[in-house]
Structure 1
Amino acid sequence: MMIVRPVRTTDLPVLEQMAAASAAGVTGLTPQREYLFDRIQQSLAALESDIACQTEESYTFMLEVDGQVVGTAGLIASAGFTQPFYSYRNETLIHASAALGVNNKIHALTLCNDLTGVTQLCGFYLAPEHLGSAAADVLSRARLLFIASHPQRFSERLFDEMQGYTDSEGRYPFWEAIGKPFFKMEVEEVDRRIALGNKTFIAELMPTYPIYVPLLPDAAQQAMGQIHPDAEVPFAILTDEGFEADDYIDAIDGAPTLTAKTHWVRSIVHSKLARLCITDNRPAGTEPFLLSNLQTRQFRAGLADVLLHGDEAWVTLETAHALACEAGDQVRLVRFEGCAGGGFA
């Protein structure tokens, strides 16, 4: 059975491996041991806390398949809690001349911190052999069930920054055109500094006036809103959930930033609470569901065959144990109807 659980201190070595294997720019997976250890400690502290409102907590979850850790994903309750969170907002500027009879709409980018305080989905990594399988959906969407069960910890909006497009030489065309001339450093160094909490230099060095997209090099224009191949699966999952990529792009690599109203996200809207019932044998008429317990420190989520009868969810003893549940406990569940963006209802 696939199980999503909170990160543990003993996960540090495998988390280091995942960070090293992930592409640059994945928030929460900077390949530095001290940084990753701190992320683990932040998650443990957040889950131990009795939180009544959204603050600065971050959460890291791990996916186990047959007892082996193969993936990770995270949540940041309030992006930019201590320093503003910067991105570029897509805008349309009108340049008109009545005398010449000209009225032009120009695509422009404006540096903004609109997403400061918004809950961020981050740190998604899954071993390549599991991409495109149900494991990707379970890992990504388990976080949504956690949000649904603990809404006071999160904001009314969600977003996720995708990994940006790189050329054949591994360079980011958007960064080469917009960021590098101002920073005089490679994008990996910028990502490292951001991960370590230094974000003010973005506003200090990046151009704050509108950037007219038609004036950018063709390579930079074509890279805007494009994603890295490693991001295709998580992108498909979140767009299936109702996330949209129209308003913002990453200030560093130009990748799309997916946003959604929390109460519109499908796995949250369509999830329901049920009382767990246990049967010795797999009952007839079961359907696949993604389900989770309602705990924090002992949070568990997984994909299992469930017989949903009214407000009762009938599962095997093995499933109940995997979810750290007993008969009579409440669980949250949503019907599973596909994988890698296939959808839930």
Structure 2
Amino acid sequence: MNYVIRAAKPGDLQSIYEMAKLTGGGFTNLPPDKKALSAKLERTEASFASDKEYPSDELYLLVLEDTDSGEVRGTCQIFGQVGQRWPFYSYRIGTDSKHSEQLDRTFHAQVLMLSNDLNGASEVGGLFLHPAARAGGLGLLLARSRYLFIARHRARFGDRILAELRGVIDEAGGSPFWDGVAGKFFGMNFQEADQFNAVHGNQFIADLMPKHPVYIAMLSDHARSVIGVPHPTGRAAMRMLENEGFAFENYVDIFDGGPTMTARTDQVASVRNAKHIEISAIAETGQDALVATGQLADFRCCFGKIGDGATLDSEAAKLLGVGKGGEISWIGR
């Protein structure tokens, strides 16, 4: 089968909705709500059409298409700058130190502090691959295509970039972290809060969340054990992020406690190592690569072979709609 990454279109709504129903909750960027997804696609269409050449409140939603069947089999998203529509909240894990002269003892307590430190960063997220397509490295294609998009549109993204990983969700769809921390202040369970946030944004957090630190030692063992831990299905994604240069710097999601990974945009491996060349010829031999072309709504990315002298294989050339003299960006697979 032949797969290509392309810009999402309004006609992809039903396919994206069907995939959203398979996520199992805790996936804020891909809610199983047609109205919310339709609004995302409208926002995406406007973002691709925008002529802004600076970081802003843009959303670029990309899809993985099986070109043989025309089916959409995956999605991923890039946000130009978070914290523009409403503040971007995280919990930052910090330390509160106390010393007693009488006891001659010092105590260091870990605390969760509500933070807007990451406002202004760009974000990669919303990566989901249909269960029927979880083979052949397609998750890697989805994930790394976002960095080639950033490399080809660098001025539209900030100097810092983040990725939120879904936290631990139990078999009933609940979150031990939510139950142990925020749920006590909102009068709703995790699924209700997660869906509300996905559809309406997180202003309700600013309205109701206590601003004082939360001492981790006072949480239940279950809640403490999942802080900064990714969902089992997100471990591979965490490794891919680490391979790109992202690191966990003590920021966690306020809903499920999942880790937020951060990096300097220009130090992300697939951004830093992207090469921009003009195709000299079509040839079938070369090193395995991810290859991209096109600007904004015309962006396309697929697997291909790059040979000596800047050649590209014919299958990738066909998927990308390019030939000799065409301009592409590529990174080794």
Is the TM value for this pair above 0.5? yes
Q: SS where residue 280 of structure 2 aligns?
A: strand
Q: Give the CA deviation at 1:319.
A: 1.7
Deviates more, 1:259-268 or 1:186-195: 186-195
In the alignment, the residues of structure 2 paired with residue 114 and residue 333 of structure 1 have an alpha-carbon distance, to the nearest angstrom, of 33
The secondary structure found in structure 2 opposite 1:62 is: strand
2:59 counterpart residue number: 58
Look up the SS of the partner of 1:297 in the other structure: helix
Contact 1:54 1:78 in 2 (8 A): yes
Contact 2:174–2:189 at 8 Å: present in 1 too?
A: no
In the TM superposition, residue 20 of structure 1 has moved relative to its aligned partner by 0.7
Please, which runs of 5 or more residues in structure 1 have no aligned partner?
337-345
What displacement does 1:301 show?
0.6
SS at 2:181 equivalent? helix
Alignment-derived partner of residue 13 in structure 1: 14
CA offsets 1:4-35 (integer angstroms, 9 cap, x no match):
10101211111001111113222321111111
Does the 8 Å contact 2:28/2:197 carry over to 1? no
SS, match of residue 4 in structure 1: strand
Q: Where do residues 230-309 of structure 1 align in structure 2 (5 Å cutoff)?
A: 230-279=233-282, 281-283=283-285, 286-309=286-309
Work out the percentage of aligned pairs sharing the same amino acid.
31
Q: Secondary structure of the residue that 2:200 maps to in structure 1?
A: coil
1:43 corresponds in structure 2 to 44
Superposition map of 1:305-316 within 5 A: 305-309=305-309, 312=310, 314-316=311-313
Q: What is the CA deviation profile of residues 242-276 of structure 1, one whole-angstrom value per residue up to 9, with x for unaligned ones?
A: 11113200001111111111011111111111111
1:110 maps to which residue? 113
Work out which of the residue numbers 318, 330, 335 in structure 1 matches 2:315: 318
Deviates more, 1:255-264 or 1:18-27: 18-27
The aligned residue for residue 148 of structure 1 is: 151
- 2:290 partner amino acid: L
| In structure 1, distance between residues paired with 2:195 and 2:218 | 29
- Deviation for aligned residue 1:201: 1.5
> For 1:11, what is the secondary structure of its paired residue?
helix
State the distance in 2 between where 1:198 and 1:269 align.
Answer: 33
Mapped contact 1:80–1:117 kept (Cα < 8 A): yes
Residues of 1 paired with 2:25 and 2:173: CA distance?
10
1:182 aligns with 185
Deviates most, 24-33 or 154-163? 24-33
2:182 is paired with a residue whose SS is helix
State how far apart, in whole Å, the 1-side matches of 2:170 and 2:15 are: 29
TM-score scaled by structure 1?
A: 0.91
Do 2:44 and 2:58's aligned partners in 1 also have CA atoms closer than 8 Å?
yes
Alpha carbons 1:26, 1:122 under 8 Å: kept? no
Partners of 2:321 and 2:84 in 1: CA distance: 32
TM-score for the superposition, normalised by structure 2: 0.95
8 Å contact kept, 2:6–2:62: yes
Deviation at 1:138, TM superposition (A): 0.4
**Partner residue in 1 for 2:326:** 329
- C-alpha contact 1:27 1:122 (8 A) present in aligned 2: no
Task: Quote how far apart the aligned CAs of 1:299 are.
Answer: 0.3
Amino acid at match of 2:284: R
Mapped partners of 1:106, 1:127: distance in 2: 42
Residues 76-225 of structure 1 mapped to structure 2, 5 A cutoff: 76-131=79-134, 133-225=136-228
Q: CA deviation at 1:66?
A: 4.5
Cα contact 1:4–1:139 (8 A) shared by 2: yes
Q: What are the Cα deviations for residues 216-246 of structure 1, in whole angstroms up to 9, with x where unaligned?
A: 1000000111121222232221111111113
Q: In structure 1, how many angstroms separate the alpha carbons of the residues matched to 2:171 and 2:45?
A: 40
Maintained 8 Å contact 2:304/2:313? no
In structure 2, C-alpha distance between the alignment counterparts of 1:215 and 1:133, rounded to whole Å:
45
1:67-102 Cα offsets, whole Å, 9 max, x none, are 332100001111121210111011112111122111
Number of aligned positions between the proteins: 330
Matches of 2:316 and 2:281, distance apart in 1: 9
Work out the CA distance in 1 between the residues paired with 2:325 and 2:200. 44
* Alpha-carbon distance in 2 for matches of 1:14, 1:187: 26
State the partner residue of 1:340. none
The alpha-carbon deviation at position 132 of structure 1 amounts to: 5.6
